[in-house]
Structure 1
Amino acid sequence: MRPSRTVEALRGGGPVLLWRAALTGLLLCAIGLLPWLSRTDPALTVLRARSAERTPDPEVLAAVRDELGLDDGPLRLLGKWLGGLTRGDAGRSWISGADVLPAVTEALGVSLLLMAGALTVAVVTAGAVCARTLWRGARDGHGAGPTGGGGAAVLAALPEFLTASVLATVVGVQLGWLPALGWYGPRWMVLPALSLGLPAGAVLGRLLADLLPGAFAEPWALAAAARGVPGRSIARRALRRCVPGLLPNLGLFVVGLTGGAVAVERIFDIPGLGRTTLQAALAQDLPVLQAGTLALVLLAATAGLLARLAVRLLTGPALRDGALPSLHRRTATAPTWRPLLHAAALLGVIGLGLPRDPLALDTTARLQRPSWAHPFGTDALGRDVLARVAHGALDTLGLALAISAAALLTGVVLGLLPRLSGPLVDTVNALPPVLVALLVTAVVGSGPATPALAVAAVAWAPLAAHTTALLRQERATTHLLATRALGASPFQLLGRELLPAVLPSVTRHALLRLPGVALALAALGFLGLGAQPPSPEWGLLLAENQPYAERAPWAVLAPAAALALLGALAVTVTDGVRPRRDRAVPRSRHRSRAAPPPQG
């Protein structure tokens, strides 16, 4: 008798735990080596963080080294820190001298509370994005394509830091409806939660709307519609059918909303874990940096474990028994004109702006409104915004496309190896891109390639998690069980059944994340870790013009609109790689002997 998959998973749990522990150890060692890898004297950095006015003479630096034990070397310091953890002691801050553990615990509590609010906003937004798909499926009883792509594209393409800046300025300062700075109660959580939750919810909603038509086209849904089962009940079962495929990515969002909210925490002055870890990395406060990173890794491991358990509970014995129908059908794809329209608009903006000089200064034309001479207005130095957006598009779009392609390839390959990639995904996702950028800068130095390397190092993780989740469900389908019984080899199953069924969804996911890759590059530019002036890179444009958003909103809205247009293009292009599902049987009210929808 063949052992169940649960028993097999338990048997393989030992190597996975060892692999996860090894990854965590390597990450902590890399963090521990950060002050020495940065090619600067850690004692000098700590002294400047403590007192910028104090003269860094050799005697003072020697005293700092002796106080912190820097002469012992990074490995011995790391050993002392790990030994202290076994006693519940994470050390003392090199900058303030305070105990690290209470400060990191407090920052983690703030981030978890903010994450809970952002996750609530994300779930509501995801429900709004896929609501029309659910309604049409429940009403018509067939697998119509997802709807609401344009709105999802705009929401997904909104830079979190730009949304935070607009909400803080308009809602917090001008209207005075909600507080814009600090962290003193539930009212202070609303604007940051909206800034983080809206883009995340748009991506989740689009992924869910991508799977729902396949669920409505499954035999059980068609049979239930033929029997006259209420559409609301069918929609509820279809939603439950699709959620397991999204749970791994939901776990990634949880960690990203906790540790990756650096820009939002900075704008709203929130003492969260992401901001605390970034400040410690910039100041090379090693004990705080290590404790914050360890907290993020543990959070990522916990979120991944809970997501896998939730998938088991929601899917039940179907994964073990091979009783799932496939959500993916390969048929012809209907053409659509919307990608051509969005591409024409984006190319039109680039074509109109390329002949203009993005570096030409005119101090007499500062912050001018849009006109025939300057269709997108001018910035604070009198430079033409249209020219800067067009020239910046070449770098931003080129990098985003290259990173997305590399992330898709890496994600699919590693997604085929879940025991290898599962702990790796959890570990990589625990690192905010900003912290990865600092590590990359420490190893290879600063330069235009630094943000690309940092984003590429983490962009593959959601795609690998999605690939693994879809493959797990596809391996449990009835048609694959029959194909295996007919003698198909593992490579035949992979090449002819699994990959053709999974690749379209993962490719659409990669296209959907294309604006997110551009946003990550923009966020690093906004935080000063990417391109430097006078580069017209979109993130730098947003950072440069954000202080003038109230006086000259066009200078901020132009690159933001370009990002939104890129998002709309990415979402509509996904319809071109969408398998057109078989036409469903219209819903009928007459009774039949068809089986009722599954109960789980």
Structure 2
Amino acid sequence: MTPARRLLPLVSGAVAVVLVSLVVAALPWLWETDPAASVLHVRYPERGVDPAALEALRAELDLPADPVRGALGWLGDVARGDLGTSWVSRAPVGPSVSGALGVSLTLAVAAVVVAAVTAVALLAPGVWQAARRGGTDTGRGSAVAASVLGAIPEIVLGAVLVAVVAVGAGLLPSTGFAGPANLVLPALALGLPAGGLLARMLSSATESALAEEWVRTWRSWGTPPATVAVGVARRAVATATPQIALLVVGLLGSAVAVEQLFGIPGVGTLALDAVLAQDLPVAQAAIMLLVVLGLALGGTGVLAHRALLGPAGAGGELPSGVPDASGRARSWAPWAAAGVLAAVVVAGLPRDASTTVPGRRLAPPSWSLPLGADAVGRDLWARIAHGALLTVGTAVAVTAVGLVIGLAVGVGRRSARAGAADVLNALPPVVVGLVVAAIAGPGLLGAAIAVAAVGWVPLAVHARTLAVEARASGYVRAAVLAGASPWRVARRHVLPAVVGPVVRHGLARVPHAALGIAALSFLGLGAAPDSPEWGAVLAASLAYVERAPWTILAPAVGLVLLAVVVALVRETRTSS
């Protein structure tokens, strides 16, 4: 590889950092508001807008005249070790941002521990059985359980944990960050769904590892099943390590709603509050720390990936395998799950989703209202049915866009070095949603664009990892030595090795995209509050989870059914 190609990921990462800084600095101009007026309102909410006070505040804060000057000036100060001073509190930015980052890192580490334990619990029985009896099937039940768990909205799980464990049983505190006890509920809310997604990532890697020739060789030598299982697990973790690093960074950036629910002063909440208050020094510092941390973790994941592969990764001796699905029977289960979801939607479409009946506010489920009523007396079954196309259709479209971009970016890479994709992965989706909302206004389309803007990154990194492994295999090296062009190598050898696992990964992310749109709706950046989109219904119901828990049941069950359909269709696709 030429020196220019080696430097390309670093250059693209640096350019992405500068562009992110420019976009964040441009938010006041995108919103077409005066940052001095916003800061004055936050500082003195009871005071009116006085032109003289605004001019004095501009002079005091040395507000930039345009976003380019503001971003470049801030980057220059950072290069000298100065993160700036808050426009609102006039306190140094460094201590507050570093303290918030420490809180978020603590929460993320706890959530990663929960996710790892959950993934091992889901995968270990299937891996052991496959290592003992042969074959590549690790079990459909664990795959479905992982997908269902990954589809549970973190905010819903957190609200249920607060209502049942904290308020109902009084076992743990519900808010604050005063000690280890405060970590348990938010770590479970973040870690359990992440564990489901992690299990799905490792499932594909495990089945591919079980299909490699060395596994058959070990079995023919009479290697104990426990040794085979450990070797397969090591190979699967090696392939999924970059994805695991992305998952940790994603937990840092996507935990804003959970932090707000539990009153945790993390960096995501700090960045969101700073952007809303137009306290740009704090917002820029918080987001840039997330970006730098994302680059560092992305690079660590790449180094760990290489270390786990060992000499085979660089010597053209890396094995590859395709899971054998010949022994798997086609199942009617995905059609049954899809039928249940379709029946719920079709039966609910004739029902009135818009009429409000004050007399049945928060009515419990009954014969006339099988799923109950919302806070203004609307039929929840009807609203879920009418919102299915919005939620499912938008999530599928977002995932399809991300899949195409991810494959194009990942297959074209010859190096696994961290770059621009890792920078974008570190951005909190909420901040991206704020940028899109500033340009196009809040709405379902803006939420979909925001989720798509970062949703392609895990697929691209997955494709990048598999493409690098494929290029390191012996048959690709032989094709190169035989004179095959780079385009032919990518089309005939690399793409077939990448497209299957990445498409299955994309299918597993359909519910994740729906959850991302739901989280933005929960924060007021997605669908309108009166929209039947499942995220908006979920957001409107969370305030009543203790009084009327059935109000969150309908959208949550819809998302879980979507996850079951996706998981089972994915398994059938693998077996067909």
TM range (shorter): over 0.9
Name whichever of 160-169 and 518-527 sits farther off.
160-169
Name whichever of 151-160 and 322-331 sits farther off.
322-331
Residue 550 of structure 1 aligns to a residue in which SS? coil
Residue 25 of structure 2 corresponds to which residue in structure 1?
32
Alpha-carbon shift at residue 485 of structure 1 (Å): 4.6
Q: 2:545 aligns with which of 524, 546, 549?
A: 549
Residue 70 of structure 1 aligns to a residue in which SS? coil
Q: 2:450 aligns with which of 451, 454, 470?
A: 454
Residue 186 of structure 1 corresponds to which residue in structure 2?
180
The separation in 2 between residues aligned to 1:214 and 1:71, in whole angstroms, is 54
Residue 191 of structure 2 corresponds to which residue in structure 1?
197
Residue identity in the other structure for 2:419: P
Contact 1:369 1:552 in 2 (8 A): yes
Residue identity in the other structure for 1:128: A
After TM superposition, the score normalised by the length of structure 2 is: 0.96
Alignment of 1:244-263 (within 5 A): 244-263=238-257
Alignment of 1:237-248 (within 5 A): 237-248=231-242
Alpha-carbon shift at residue 62 of structure 1 (Å): 2.0
Residue 383 of structure 1 corresponds to which residue in structure 2?
378
Alpha-carbon shift at residue 511 of structure 1 (Å): 0.5
Alignment of 1:97-116 (within 5 A): 97-116=90-109
Residue identity in the other structure for 2:217: A
**Is the aligned partner of 1:540 residue 2:536?**
yes
The separation in 2 between residues aligned to 1:506 and 1:209, in whole angstroms, is 12
Alpha-carbon shift at residue 217 of structure 1 (Å): 2.9
The separation in 2 between residues aligned to 1:367 and 1:579, in whole angstroms, is 45
Residue 364 of structure 2 corresponds to which residue in structure 1?
369
Alpha-carbon shift at residue 228 of structure 1 (Å): 2.1
**Is the aligned partner of 1:337 residue 2:332?**
yes
The separation in 2 between residues aligned to 1:232 and 1:313, in whole angstroms, is 23
- 1:214 to 1:174, Cα distance in 2 relative to 1, 3 A: same
Residue identity in the other structure for 2:83: A
Residue 597 of structure 1 corresponds to which residue in structure 2?
none
Alpha-carbon shift at residue 579 of structure 1 (Å): 5.8
Name whichever of 158-167 and 209-218 sits farther off.
209-218
Alpha-carbon shift at residue 10 of structure 1 (Å): 6.6
The separation in 2 between residues aligned to 1:561 and 1:421, in whole angstroms, is 40
Identity of aligned residues (%): 45
The separation in 1 between residues aligned to 2:437 and 2:575, in whole angstroms, is 42
The separation in 2 between residues aligned to 1:538 and 1:9, in whole angstroms, is 50
The separation in 1 between residues aligned to 2:278 and 2:416, in whole angstroms, is 32
Q: How many residues align?
A: 573
Alpha-carbon shift at residue 466 of structure 1 (Å): 0.4
The separation in 2 between residues aligned to 1:535 and 1:542, in whole angstroms, is 11
Alpha-carbon shift at residue 66 of structure 1 (Å): 2.1
Contact 1:152 1:206 in 2 (8 A): yes
Contact 1:146 1:213 in 2 (8 A): no
Residue 120 of structure 2 corresponds to which residue in structure 1?
127
Residue identity in the other structure for 1:543: A
Residue 346 of structure 2 corresponds to which residue in structure 1?
351
The separation in 1 between residues aligned to 2:435 and 2:178, in whole angstroms, is 33
Contact 1:329 1:579 in 2 (8 A): no
Name whichever of 129-138 and 262-271 sits farther off.
129-138
Contact 2:119 2:195 in 1 (8 A): yes
Residue identity in the other structure for 1:234: V
Deviation digits for residues 138-165 of structure 1 (CA, Å, limit 9, x no counterpart): 2213212443122112210110111111
Alpha-carbon shift at residue 80 of structure 1 (Å): 3.2
Contact 1:68 1:94 in 2 (8 A): yes
Alpha-carbon shift at residue 442 of structure 1 (Å): 1.8
Residue identity in the other structure for 1:132: P
Contact 1:366 1:380 in 2 (8 A): yes
**Is the aligned partner of 1:530 residue 2:526?**
yes
**Is the aligned partner of 1:569 residue 2:562?**
no
Alpha-carbon shift at residue 516 of structure 1 (Å): 0.3
Contact 1:329 1:501 in 2 (8 A): no
Q: 1:408 aligns with which of 381, 384, 403?
A: 403
- 1:197 to 1:9, Cα distance in 2 relative to 1, 3 A: farther
Residue 558 of structure 1 corresponds to which residue in structure 2?
554
Contact 1:364 1:382 in 2 (8 A): yes
Q: 1:423 aligns with which of 419, 430, 436?
A: 419
Residue 60 of structure 1 corresponds to which residue in structure 2?
53
